[in-house]
Homo-oligomer: A and B are copies of this chain.
């Protein structure tokens, strides 16, 4: 199972890139999954959260609620990435597009909005490419630099690497 992380601050274009990647890979018949943190702080609350909460309080290790294609699994402690990826593996996923989780060490595409974001390049590991509106000189970087306008080329480059 191949894992690609898309890392960048808010409004750096993560969602657009993630969707373009999913579309391109899915079109090639690849079983793609996405994984992201809940962005607004706190849990991705659902209608049934109260019920799950009650079961967890009663001592359930896991509490699952299912309906119309959505399966919510609550757990007392935070999920670790490996547990979530194990579930994806179980479902025969071939490629995971992971949004965020920047402390993880999977291959990364980093989105840089402006010079204030450049420090991110020193804080994460395994960068394979950068997408940015800035004029960065390719020769200064050990990974590919794509201009913001070249997103399609970046998506194509990733999809060729995956096959």
By a beta-carbon cutoff of 8 Å, the part of chain A in contact with chain B is 15, 18-20, 22-23, 25-27, 31-49, 51-52, 54-56, 58-79, 83-84, 86-88, 90-91, 93, 97
How far is the CB of A162 from the nearest CB of chain B, in Å? 14
Please name the residue on chain B nearest to A38 by beta carbon.
B67
**Pair A22/B59 contact, Cβ less than 8 Å:** yes
16 sampled A-B residue pairs with Cβ under 8 A: A22-B58, A26-B60, A27-B59, A34-B52, A34-B64, A37-B67, A38-B67, A38-B70, A42-B67, A43-B69, A45-B47, A62-B88, A64-B84, A64-B87, A70-B75, A71-B84
**Pair A79/B58 contact, Cβ less than 8 Å:** no
Chain A contact surface mostly: mixed
Q: A38-B68, A69-B79, A90-B90 are in contact. List 17 more A-B contacts (CB 8 A).
A: A22-B55, A22-B60, A26-B59, A26-B61, A33-B63, A34-B64, A35-B64, A36-B51, A44-B46, A44-B67, A44-B72, A46-B70, A49-B70, A61-B93, A66-B79, A70-B74, A71-B74
Chain B residue numbers with a CB within 8 Å of A45 are 46-47, 70
How far is the CB of A58 from the nearest CB of chain B, in Å? 4
**Pair B73/A70 contact, Cβ less than 8 Å:** yes
Chain B residue numbers with a CB within 8 Å of A77 are 69
Among A47, A90, A97, which residue has the most Cβ atoms of chain B within 10 A?
Answer: A47
